[in-house]
Amino acid sequence: MTAAAGAGPGSTAPRTPAPRYRVFRAALPEVCAADPARMVFTADADGRCEVFTWHAATASARRVTDRPGGTFHCSIDADAHVWWFEEDAHGSGRWRFRPFDGGPARDGLRGTPEGQARGLAVSADGAVALALGDGAGTTVYRGPRGGTARPVARLPYQASLTGISSDGELLAVGGQARSSRAVTVLRASDGTRIARLPCGQGALWSLGFTPRPGSQELLLVREDGGRYLLATWRPGGEPVTHAWASFDTEITARWRPDGRGVLIRQDRHGRSILHRADLDARGLSVLPTAPGTLLDAAEHAGGDLHTLWTSTAEPPRALSSAGTPLPAAPRPPAPLPGVSRDLWTPGPDGDLHTLVTLPEGARGPVPTVFLVHGGPADHDRDAYDGTVHSLVASGFGVARVNYRGSTGYGPAWRAAMTEGVGLTQVADLAAARADLVERGWADPGSCALWGTSWGGYLTLLALGVRPGLWRAGVAVKPVAHLALAHAATTPALRALDERLFGGTPEELPELYARSSPHTYLPHLDAPLLIVAARHDAKCPPGQVLAYTDGLTRQHKPHDVLWLDTGHDGYDGADHVRALRAAVVFLDRTLRGGPAPDRRRTAPTASPATRRGESGPAEHAAVPAGGSTPHHPTERTTHHAEGHHPQRPARG
C-alpha cells in the first residue's frame, strides 16, 4: 500500500447505514489488497472533507475522522488498517491509523516530528515507511506499524516516497522529474542508495513497485522525443523503456494485480483513454469507456475494474466491471443546465482547444466567464464542474481554455512559451475570446476572467496586459507579485519558478517583472474580486496584500474576501462562500445586478507578512445522511507532467 499526504484525526462515530455524500476531490475508494470488500475514501461530512470506510459486502459506510479543519489524505493497508494524515492549518502534521472496524487511533510511527506529508508506504508484513517534508528537504522514516520511528534517509530537496517493494526491502523516492534526482531507490533498512535513475533528455516519474511477491520491479513513465513511454527497472540493471507502449499525450499508470500487466490512463484533448498493457506479450489494448473523463481507474483481484467516470453533463460515477457495490453520490434531480461544445482556434504553436458551455436556448451572444485553470501543469477536462453549472444556470456562458503550457496535448504544447511566461497564456485567452465573439457566442462587452492559484495569477495578468478585453475579474488565492511570492512560497514552487524563467528574481529581475501582475496594475481598469487565504503557503498572503495595497493607492475598484484557511482547505463552507461572492460579483459587474454589502474583512498583518512571508498550508471531499456515498481517497500515484490526484503547483 502506498498513499500520499493527507489531513485529519479519527473518531469512533457509529456506523451510518446509508449516508449521502458530496465530494470535493475525485478518486476511487482505495481497496484492501487482502480483503477487496474493505475500502476507504474521503467524502463530505457536514460541509467538511472526512475519511470513511466502505464495506462492499454490506454496502455500508462508517465515518473515521472528525476534525474542525477536515481530513483528506487517507489509505488502507493489507491488514485493513485505515490511515490518514492529521495536519494543522499550515499543512503540517503526522500519519495516524486505526483498525477498519474501529478502535483507538494511533500514531503510524511514534516519535516522528510534525512535517508536510510526502508519502506513506506499508508493506504486506506491516513495515511502515513514510516521508515528511520541511523547508530544507525531506526525511524518510521506517519502523513497524505503530512502533518507534527510525530515520533512514535525509534528502536535501523536496521529494515524495512513491513505493515500497512487496518484501519491504526497497523504497522508491521521486524528486524533480527533469533532474538527476528524478527517481532514487533506497535500501529500506538503512537508507543506502541502491540506484539513482536520472531523467536523461526528458523527464522520469516513479509509479511504484510491482505487487508480485518476490519481485522488486519498479514501474516508470518516461518522457522522451515528444512521447510518453512506459519503462521498468530492476535492481542491478538500467531502466528498460518499452517503446511499444508509447503515447503522444500525458499518461499515468498503475500495476494490475498480477504484477505483469499495467493499466494506463491517458489524458488527451480534454478527455480520457484507458489502455491495458501486457509487459510479457508486449501488447497494448484500448478498453471501451464512454466519452468524457476518467478521474481514476484501478484493477483488482479477479479482474474487477473500478473506474470513476464523469463528463461536463454528468457528475462523477464510480463503476465496477464485476458489479461490486461502490460508494455513490446522489444524482441531480434534473439534467444539468447548459449545452457543451468544443472550440479549436488556430494559433502559432498549434490549435487552441476550448471547452465551451452555453445556456440552453441562448439566442445571440451571452455574458461569458472564462474559467482559467491552474497548474500550469494541468488542464480543463470534459468533466463535471459545479462552478460551470452555477454560472450557466445563472445565464452566463463559460469558456475553459487549455492554453499553451497545459497538459493533455503533448510535450511540445507543455513547453510552448512563445510570448513569455504568463504572457503566452494571456495571448491564448485573448485568442479564444476573439473566436467566441466572432462566432456570436460571447458578448464582447461582457467577458470576465475567473481563476484560482496559477489561474488567479493569469486572471490578474490578463486584466493588466489586455485591459480593454475584460469587463471584470475574479482571482482566487492568486500570485500577484512574482518576486515576493518566490521569496515566500514553498521550495517546490520556488524551483518551478526558476525552471520556467531560467533563474531567480535576483538573477532575472526584468523577466520576472515583465510577467508579474503587479507591473501592470496601473493599466487595470476592470472591477476585481480577490479571494485570498491567510495561511496560504503556495500563494502567500503578503504578496496579495502588497497588490491590494497598490489597488487602494491607485483607486482601482476591487473587493477582497479573506479566508482563514490554507491554499486548498478542507471546509466546503469556504468554497461555497467564495462561489457565492464570485457569482454575485459577476452578476453586478457584467449585468448590473444589485450592489453588495461594501463591508469587507482585512487581515491584521505584520510588516514581515506584508513582504510576502507566510507559514505553510492545504483541499478535499465529505456525508450527511440519506443515500449512498461516493468519492474516495488520494494515493501517491505520480503522473507524467504533473497529472497527480493532488492538483499540481499553483493549481
Question: Please, what is the average pLDDT of the chain?
Answer: 86
| Mean predicted confidence (pLDDT) in 342-371 | 96
Tell whether pTM > 0.75.
yes
Cα dihedral 596, 597, 598, 603 in deg (nearest 10): -110
Digit-coded pLDDT (tens) for 76-103? 999 999 999 999 877 899 999 999 999 9
- Cα torsion 634, 636, 639, 641: sign: positive
d(Cα 510, Cα 491) in Å, to the nearest integer? Answer: 22
> Residue 603: pLDDT above 70?
no
> Residue 649: pLDDT above 60?
no
pLDDT, residue 3, reads: 63
pLDDT, residue 103, reads: 94
User: DSSP code of 527?
Assistant: -
What is the phi/psi pair of residue 583, to 5°?
Answer: -65, -40
Q: Kindly give, in sequence order, each residue whose CB lies less than 8 Å from that of residue 165, ignoring residues fewer than 6 positions away.
A: 123, 171, 188, 209, 215, 216
Digit-coded pLDDT (tens) for 19-34? 333 443 457 899 999 9
pLDDT, residue 199, reads: 84
| Mean predicted confidence (pLDDT) in 595-614 | 37
H-helix or E-strand containing 489?
none
> Residue 593: pLDDT above 80?
no
| Mean predicted confidence (pLDDT) in 37-59 | 91
What does the block give as the cell for 274? 484507458
| Mean predicted confidence (pLDDT) in 583-598 | 78
pLDDT, residue 636, reads: 38
pLDDT, residue 611, reads: 33
User: DSSP code of 335?
Assistant: P
Residue with grid cell 443546465, as numbered in its chain: 337
Write out the E strands in 2-123.
2-3, 15-16, 30-31, 38-45, 48-55, 60-63, 74-76, 81-87, 93-99, 106-107, 116-122
Amino acid letter, residue 643:
H
State how far the alpha carbon of 399 is from the alpha carbons of 431, 591, 646, in Å.
12, 18, 23
Among candidates 67, 92, 76, 96, which has minimal Cα distance to 84?
Answer: 96
> Residue 185: pLDDT above 70?
yes
> Residue 43: pLDDT above 90?
no
What does the block give as the cell for 217? 520491479
d(Cα 384, Cα 337) in Å, to the nearest integer? Answer: 12
| Mean predicted confidence (pLDDT) in 608-625 | 30
When computed from its CA atoms, the radius of gyration of the chain, rounded to whole angstroms, is: 24
> Residue 163: pLDDT above 90?
yes
Digit-coded pLDDT (tens) for 193-224? 999 998 888 899 999 999 999 899 999 999 99
> Backbone dihedral region of 553: left (phi > 0), alpha (psi from -120 to 50 degrees) or beta?
alpha
> Residue 394: pLDDT above 50?
yes
Among candidates 206, 201, 214, which has minimal Cα distance to 168?
Answer: 214
pLDDT, residue 400, reads: 98
Q: 136 vs 187, which has greater pLDDT? A: 187
Q: How confident is the model at residue 329 (pLDDT cuts 50, 70, 90)?
A: confident
**DSSP character string of 35-63:** -TTEEEEEEEETTEEEEEEEETTTTEEEE
* HEC per residue, 304-324: EEEEEEEECCEEEEEEECCCC
